[in-house]
Chain A
């Protein structure tokens, strides 16, 4: 779906160059429910319109806009006969607006906006779709139905000429919950993000004085340090996750995955050979931008449902925050309690950081050279 949405934007440019990859015949039906009214559009390929009602008046094998426009009344009739909407059992009356053309990647489509009045509040919308079926039984009507902020999709035609949609009971919560869980699960299963954060947080219960680590005197500076790092990381990855999720910026995943591994190495090495001691939140922010792209590739694989894109994105991001906060709350109090032990400064911090740096180096090589 995400890809399809992205392509719409390219459609106009691409069509100009001629040859198209062949896909099976589809009609695109969009419907938005508001009270007793539905507004929407139906799109049929110009090729298919020609087969259905005969548009090529001069039989030269070329369908012009003039020919299509002249056939508009017959197209209205054809669609009215083959597309039926009903609110519960009460049939809706379709009225068509002016015919337009939509350039899709696979060719020109006749784009016909319509409104429907159903005479009753719509709780259940029944859609019966018979367009093109007698000519091309493999033709399908791809329906996107929006009610409020909830989008549902359906495929009509073949053995499924009729679909019913529950309009009254949106499943927004289910979508939100699903993406929330995915966010939590991703942060726990892909430990690279956690290792980055932990590398930055391990020294948060310590202070660097004269080239040596010392325990912080009280909880307040430790808490503030942790808060700054976590906030900066959250802010940064939220920005890039949003940019990537809405397709505003795309980076090749090999690059981001490699750079994420590199960021862990930098964060871990900084504990062994400290360069940045007070402003670790700056590292968290700058590299956090990269980690956001990493999260985005997971989200890209899941896809964002049309009509609930923002909700899904926010839920996924919130899931990531919940997941990471849970780990911080688990690890950092322990780190705070044992900060005065020599074990923490001599073993946990240096050996832990070394191990993290080594593991991340392996990832870096694997990812950069696609091993």
Chain B
């Protein structure tokens, strides 16, 4: 900083350095404080009545007053609309739709009615999307108590328990799926858990060789996504890429799969491919994070706008007391903002909620970067206890950092 101050020719240099630096610093503070204060007051009066402030997203108008009043009386309107909104949330990544869905369901959650189990299962799906896993499990139990043969409830329960890393309970849920679903669904449910508990190779072989003619598109895409993830954990990235591409061809709207494919590309430093894959998906936080990481990798300077959007989204989530994107937040803090200590805190909060391989990965990486190897103990213990196989985690397990 003192380098910018003009040389003082009247006094010997070794006497002038401190006042010069100080003067400069004070000038800096004064100037930038003013800029900061004025920029923070962002409210304004638009100059023209024609200025467009917002575009109403298609479908959201249903949530308006008139429809809500109908939905209050008629479950045959409320439940399908809720399902529609949950679908919109999945396709657009817009969390407001989950709120609209919840608004439709609320009247049907509490008191007894024939549609209560269905309403509970839909609401549990919303809670799952918000990573409120325990609350989701409570509602699924309530639904299953009312209606023990509810394949959707058992499947959602298996998924939630699997994300939480409670594999034994998840397996029990898979076994409840029973004869009402296609056998391939039960097989996927079971094998994806086998693959996480020490039987990766066998599960992969079994799923990969299972016949898939006549299997619905959605289920085939799910199978491809599971096989892709398994292949990655086995270290067979070229097979993984093929599975994920096949899956995305079947179901381009599957965000989870697209994100997984982006991570695979990023691991191979294929930043340009990542940007192509995610082009047009920058409104979805986890995708935006991968876009920012890919741009960073390409060395095209900082993606200031993307970083600002992410930082804002995480800040608001934190203020709301939610933890939907803790994993992404930890990765953002570690790889974009390069604040390992803060990343470790986020990763620790994340692992308390969910334990997918990616969650274990970010804790291991953050603990290493923050030079606190002991903080990764929950991840290490979990991996050992479950016999979890994943070549991507190996580098962080083999060498205990001093």
Contact = CB atoms under 8 A, between A and B. Distances in A.
B339 A8 contact: no
A5 B96 contact: no
Contact of A3 (B32, B282, B311, B322): B311
Interface in B12-34: 14, 17-18, 21-22, 25, 28-29, 32-33
Interface string A106-128: 11100100000000000000000
A19 B305 CA distance: 11
B54 A239 contact: no
Interface stretch (B166-174, B181-189, B312-320): B312-320
Given A22-B94, A155-B319, A134 B103 contact: yes
B312 A3 contact: yes
B53 A138 contact: no
A209 B49 CA distance: 80
Interface residues of B, number: 77
Q: Is the interface of A mostly helix, strand, loop or mixed?
A: mixed
A100 B45 contact: yes
A66 B49 contact: yes
B283 A20 contact: yes
B131 to A, nearest CB: 12
B96 A25 contact: yes
A337 interface: no
Given A5-B40, A21-B288, A136 B54 contact: no
B95 A23 contact: yes
Interface string A126-161: 000000001111111010000000000101000000
B285 interface: yes
B217 interface: no
Contact of A66 (B50, B63, B308, B312): B50
B241 interface: no
B103 A137 contact: yes
A56 interface: yes
A169 B22 CA distance: 38
A9 B36 contact: yes
Contact of B18 (A5, A12, A252, A285): A285
Contacts of B55: 61-63
Interface string A276-292: 00010010011001000
A21 B39 contact: no
B36 A102 contact: no
A4 B14 CA distance: 42
Interface in A74-106: 98, 100-106
B1 A289 contact: yes
Given A1-B319, A153-B319, A65 B51 contact: yes
Contacts of A111: 43
B93 A22 contact: yes
B284 interface: yes
A31 to B, nearest CB: 16
Contact of B56 (A47, A253, A282, A366): A47
B5 interface: no
Nearest to B56: A61
Among B18, B28, B42, B52, max chain A CB count under 10 A is at B42
Given A4-B316, A136-B103, A65 B49 contact: yes
A232 B312 CA distance: 38
Given A24-B320, A105-B309, A69 B29 contact: no
Interface in B192-215: none
Interface stretch (A241-249, A317-325, A350-358): A241-249
A51 B67 CA distance: 11
Interface of B: 1-2, 14, 17-18, 21-22, 25, 28-29, 32-33, 36, 39-40, 42-46, 48-58, 60, 63-65, 68, 92-96, 98-100, 102-103, 106, 130, 282-285, 288, 304-305, 308-317, 319-322, 338-339, 341-342, 345, 369, 371, 401
Given A9-B42, A19-B283, A21-B282, 8 more contacts: A1-B319, A10-B308, A23-B317, A26-B320, A65-B48, A136-B96, A155-B321, A235-B18
Interface of A: 1, 3-12, 14, 17, 19-26, 41, 45-47, 50-51, 54, 56, 61-66, 68-69, 98, 100-108, 111, 134-140, 142, 153, 155, 232, 235, 239, 242-243, 246-249, 252-254, 279, 282, 285-286, 289, 297-298, 300-301, 366, 370-371
17 contacts: A1-B315, A3-B311, A4-B312, A4-B319, A8-B40, A9-B40, A19-B282, A22-B283, A24-B322, A25-B99, A61-B55, A61-B58, A104-B312, A105-B312, A136-B100, A235-B18, A279-B14
